[in-house]
Amino acid sequence: MKRERNAKIIATLGPSSSDGKTIRQLFEAGVDVFRLNFSHGTHDDHLRRLTEIRKLEKESGRPIGVLLDLQGPKLRLGTFEGGSAELRSGERFRLELNSLSGDATRAPLPHPEIFEAIEAGSELLLDDGKIRLRVERKGSDFADTVVVVGGRISDRKGVNVPAVMLPISALTHKDREDLAFGLENGIDWVALSFVQRAEDIDEAREIIGDRAWIMAKLEKPLAIDHLDEIVDRCDGIMVARGDLGVELPAEQIPELQRRIVRACRAAGKVVVVATQMLESMTNSPVPTRAETSDVAGAIYEGADAVMLSAESASGKYPLEAVSMMNRIVERVERDPEYRSGIDASHTRAQSTAADAICCALREVVQLIGPAVTVTYTSSGFTSVRAARERVATAIIAMTPSLAVARRLALVWGVHSIAFRNARDVDDMIALASEAARSSGFAKPGESIVIAAGLPFGESGTTNLLHIAKVGP
């Protein structure tokens, strides 16, 4: 199935979109990658959805990516007498490392790592930032605070600790079980929650190895302080704007989104813009004008993909949300100003063979206007590196690995195809010509540009650029 756009769409599956018919409809409407959110649902629930995706993939003949989104650590208060309490601004409030039910003066906080990390002056945010506390005094098992912003608080609401590096792993016991389940069942991408520093990526990589690509979710402000190192260690980044917006002023989020997208584009890493993109479509068949502008803004910035969460997982109009997002992306990419902006923000090449080939590829495409670009890749490296150039044609990624083809489904401009290995250069050219023609990207007699690495089968060896004519 040929898409008429370069940026990709991720849709989260959930109660509104778990049956095979709906998954097929979402795919046909424009979904390239399906997200399985392990903050909700059982392993059986996710396995049923994954089975339907793989069935659809086989029937459609198009590789479909699956993103496993790990829950990550969840820091929560304990319970309150009567289920809730009213905190008033200016009053004292104590947090204690115990399980005794709380009231308007105190609450249990069963997380010793928080007491270890905070100090006088630290802020704690309760219930997605609706209530703010400032620490005045602390010990190993308590924190005396003053209520800066009050309100009603109820059982097990979330706790955020901005500007403090918490001494906890990004992978909980639940995450490790979910990860083992996902890897056993062949997921393609792993979204790692609660990333604070680059070492969190290393910890996940030791478990995952080369069985999936890793996407770091940037939802903690401290991660921004280590942005370049995190981008360098992972395969992709998710701009988790909802979580970032809890710990940061809302007016900072657009600036950070642009900064993260630019850092990923410069490094040639996949970048996904997520959270509340078409939020009103959870309950409405049409989005707000501000939401359509938000989606369009991410595409103008050059993001690889945009993501739907509740809109497709639990909303009333999952199909309409995907269709709307697809139309917005297609409309933006037809705008001449879009191409101008992409070209103006192009990243300078580095002095490597791969950069030299892909930089030349971009120039060749601009000069001769081929029907399509074809990359031949074993690891996905050549295709990802070509996508970094944001070439002015679609990119057909030919790979002998179905797993790599599925991962590349998330990369800007890439239409991945699982093909047999080429025997030699002549065979590679013939296969590329066949793929371009059979996929509907090129007609007989039209030019295609091919990038590959020799010898075949070795990753990271992009060193060949070839112009060919599509045969009859």
Residue 155 burial (CB count, 10 A): 16
DSSP character string of 256-289: HHHHHHHHHHHHT-EEEEESSTTGGGGT-SS--H
* Prediction pTM value: 0.94
Q: What tens-digit pLDDT sequence spans the chain (472 residues)?
A: 689 999 999 999 999 999 999 999 999 999 999 999 999 999 999 999 999 999 999 999 999 999 999 999 999 999 999 999 999 999 999 999 999 999 999 999 999 999 999 999 999 999 999 999 999 999 999 999 999 999 999 999 999 999 899 999 999 999 999 999 999 999 999 999 999 999 999 999 999 999 999 999 999 989 999 999 999 999 999 999 988 999 999 999 999 999 999 999 999 999 999 999 999 999 999 999 999 999 999 999 999 999 999 999 999 999 999 999 999 999 999 999 999 999 888 877 777 888 889 899 999 999 999 999 999 999 999 999 999 999 999 999 999 999 999 999 999 999 999 988 788 889 999 999 999 999 999 999 999 999 998 887 777 778 889 999 998 7
Tokens representing 211 are: 């069985």
Tokens representing 386 are: 């070509």
Nearest 10 degrees: Cα torsion 130, 132, 138, 140: 20
Helix (H, G, I), strand (E, B) or coil at 42: coil
**Integer Cα distance of 460 and 43 in angstroms:** 35
> 200: which residues sit within 8 A by CB, 6+ positions away?
169, 170, 192, 194, 216
**Integer Cα distance of 261 and 253 in angstroms:** 12
**Integer Cα distance of 397 and 415 in angstroms:** 6
Tokens representing 445 are: 């007699």
**Integer Cα distance of 441 and 23 in angstroms:** 26
Give me the domains of the chain, ranges plus CATH numbers.
8-72+170-338 (3.20.20.60), 81-160 (2.40.33.10), 353-469 (3.40.1380.20)
**Integer Cα distance of 42 and 65 in angstroms:** 20
Catalytic residues: 35, 76, 217, 275
Tokens representing 390 are: 């944001």
Residue 224 burial (C-beta neighbours within 10 Å; 0-12, 13-18, 19+): middle
Closest CA to 236 of 359, 378, 387: 387
